[in-house]
């Protein structure tokens, strides 16, 4: 690291939670992710979802084909490594888990409570029916990734993460004490405290939007559809706790953008899609958040070390440099079939940018 006030060189980061979508969308999302990250854990909530290893390997090949067809550098093409996940359903078997663990391609299994977020209709309806699968995941050391919200209609949307911790996650941990679990995109102090209270097998990812914004940004002065994501932004007090734990140097928290592309007209309508698109400028966003509390020196651990350590993977050896040079976030990117893709903070200026 050089002068920490103006320039920061860190090991190349990984994104441990990203949505690339599929088919034509990959022409945009893959190069955007590959310019910043080496490994990315690709979410399986496609239509139809990625439910077994054969489907995961086929999806990975589609990603890599779009990577080769892109105009990013040969160095970035060689470094980019999409790590796959299986979509856990009520029909997933222990044999599916064994095959996935031996594949060398599937990094984890994703649990979406049915109806929790985009394309989650095939998600798990009964955690208690997953005993054999969780036992197999423990046996084969395959982590469980959780969208941590209950989905009961009567539960307030701002309370769904807390209820999940108490009613679902605590139960899973008690029954499967050695199962590696990542509580993805945590949004509350309750989740941060819960993760800190557990053993080293429990970790969490945090998105840039949950570090930088709270529900006031979403709702005051009119609803801002490009701040709408699930789990939804919470109170400022929760945002401050997330910043505290992300910048604390604790290896239990690491980078997962949850970058989720939705065409602009799908976001800006009467029933806007949930998801923030941040893959292109995620590192300047995180740098801005860390620098806002004087902890820019903690970014490398969060972005480049702790996730790899949790997953038992080697630390990247290449580096990337951020500079305190203003970056104006583009108002949009071309997307497939003539659509546009609006990024998080479109048109705004960030104090940090990537050094080319």
Q: Pick the more confident residue, 112 or 34.
A: 34
Contact assessment for residue 211 and residue 299, using Cβ atoms and an 8 Å cutoff: no
Read off the tokens for 178.
């050695």
Closest listed residue to residue 283, CA positions, set 321, 311, 313: 321
322 close to 316: Cβ distance less than 8 angstroms: no
What's the domain range around 293? 7-354
Does 81 fall in a domain? Answer: yes
Give the relative orientation of helices 26-34 and 53-69 as an angle to the nearest 10 degrees.
80
Determine if residue 258 is labeled as part of a ligand binding site. Answer: yes
Question: What are the residues facing 313 on neighbouring strands?
Answer: none
Distances (CA, A) of 52 to 101, 183, 227: 11, 22, 33
Q: Which two tokens stand for residue 112?
A: 């979406």
pLDDT above 90 (res 214): yes
CA distance 93 to 99: 10
| Rounded Cα–Cα distance for residues 17 and 224 (Å) | 23
Mean pLDDT for the stretch of residues 113-136 = 75
In this structure, what token pair is assigned to residue 63? 């990603």
Number of domains, the chain:
1
The answer to whether residue 2 is domain-embedded is no
Residue 28 belongs to a domain: yes
Instruction: Determine which helix (DSSP H) or strand (DSSP E) holds 61, and give its type and residue range.
Output: helix 53-69
What would the mean pLDDT of 293-315 be, rounded to a whole number?
A: 98
Burial class of residue 317, CB neighbours in 10 A (0-12, 13-18, 19+): exposed
Which pLDDT value is given to residue 3? 44
Return the minimum-mean-pLDDT range out of 2-6, 137-141, 257-261. Answer: 2-6
- Region 157-164: mean pLDDT is 94
Tens digits of per-residue pLDDT, 254-270?
999 999 999 999 999 98
Preceding amide of 347 cis, omega within 30: no
By three-state DSSP, how is residue 218 classified?
Answer: helix
**Tokens encoding 166:** 């108490």
Look at residue 1 and tell me whether its pLDDT is greater than 50. Answer: no
**Pick from 152-161, 191-200, 234-243: least confident:** 152-161
pLDDT of residue 138: 97
Residue 1 included in any domain: no
Instruction: For residue 185, say whether it is annotated as part of any ligand binding site.
Output: yes
Is 32 labelled as part of a ligand binding site? no
- Tell me, yes or no, whether 44 lies in a domain: yes
Task: Read off the pLDDT of residues 336-345 as tens digits, 9 standing for 90 and up.
Answer: 999 999 999 9
Q: Does 269 carry a binding-site annotation? A: no
- Is 274 annotated to bind a ligand? Reply is yes
- Higher confidence at residue 272 or residue 323? 323
- pLDDT reported for residue 5: 66
pLDDT confidence tier of residue 272, bands split at 50, 70 and 90? confident
Return the pLDDT at 114. 67
Nearest to 20 by CA among 82, 70, 69: 82
**Least confident segment among 149-163, 248-262, 290-304:** 149-163
CATH of the domain at 215: 3.20.20.140
Q: What is the pLDDT of residue 2?
A: 43
How many percent of the chain have pLDDT more than 90?
Answer: 90
Q: Is residue 102 part of a domain?
A: yes
pLDDT tens for residues 96-107? 999 999 999 999
Average pLDDT of the segment spanning 29-53 = 97
What are the phi and psi torsion angles at 236 (to 5°)?
-60, -35
**How many angstroms separate the first and last alpha carbons of the chain?**
16
Average pLDDT, the chain: 94
- Give me the mean pLDDT over the 112-141 stretch: 79
Least confident of 44-58, 115-129, 329-343: 115-129
Q: Which residue numbers are catalytic?
A: 258
Whether 110 has a binding-site annotation, put simply, is yes
147 is known to lie in a ligand binding site:
yes
**Any known ligand binding at 313?**
no
Contact 297, 5 (CB under 8 A): no
Contact present, 193 and 250 (Cβ < 8 Å): no
Query: DSSP secondary-structure letter at 167?
Result: I
pLDDT number for residue 152: 86
Which pair of tokens denotes residue 259? 């970058």
150 near 117, Cβ under 8 Å?
A: no
pLDDT digits (tens, 9 = 90+) for 173-190: 999 999 999 999 999 999
pTM over 0.75: yes
């Amino acid at each position: 690291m050089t002068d920490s006030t103006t320039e920061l060189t860190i090991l190349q980061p990984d994104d441990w939670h990203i949505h690339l979508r599929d088919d034509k969308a990959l022409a945009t999302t893959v190069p955007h992710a590959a310019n910043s990250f080496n490994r990315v854990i690709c979410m399986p909530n496609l239509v139809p979802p990625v439910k077994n290893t054969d489907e995961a390997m086929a999806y990975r090949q589609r990603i890599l084909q779009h990577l080769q067809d892109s105009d990013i550098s040969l160095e970035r093409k060689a470094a980019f490594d999409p790590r796959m996940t299986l979509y856990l359903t009520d029909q997933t078997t222990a044999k599916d888990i064994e095959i996935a663990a031996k594949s060398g391609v599937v990094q984890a299994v994703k649990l979406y409570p049915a109806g929790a977020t985009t394309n989650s209709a095939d998600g798990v309806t009964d955690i208690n029916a997953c005993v054999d699968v969780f036992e197999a995941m423990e046996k084969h050391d395959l982590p469980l990734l959780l969208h941590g919200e209950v989905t009961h209609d009567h539960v307030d949307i701002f309370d769904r993460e807390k209820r999940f911790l108490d009613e679902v996650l605590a139960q899973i941990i008690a029954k499967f004490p050695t199962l590696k679990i990542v509580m993805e995109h945590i949004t509350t102090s309750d989740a941060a405290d819960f993760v800190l209270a557990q053993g080293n097998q429990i970790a969490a990812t945090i998105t840039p939007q949950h570090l930088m914004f709270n529900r006031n940004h979403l709702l005051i002065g009119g609803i801002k559809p490009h701040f709408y994501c699930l789990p939804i932004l919470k109170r400022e007090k929760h945002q401050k706790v997330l910043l505290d734990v992300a910048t604390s140097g604790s290896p239990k928290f690491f980078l997962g953008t949850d970058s989720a592309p939705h065409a602009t007209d799908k976001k800006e309508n009467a029933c806007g899609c949930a998801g923030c698109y941040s893959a292109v400028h995620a590192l300047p966003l995180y740098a801005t958040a860390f620098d806002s509390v004087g902890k820019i020196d903690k970014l490398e651990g969060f972005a480049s070390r702790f996730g790899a350590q949790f997953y038992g993977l080697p630390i990247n050896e290449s580096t990337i440099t951020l500079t305190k040079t203003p970056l104006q976030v583009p108002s949009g990117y071309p997307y497939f079939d003539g659509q546009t893709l609006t990024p998080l903070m479109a048109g705004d200026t960030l104090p940090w940018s990537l050094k080319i």
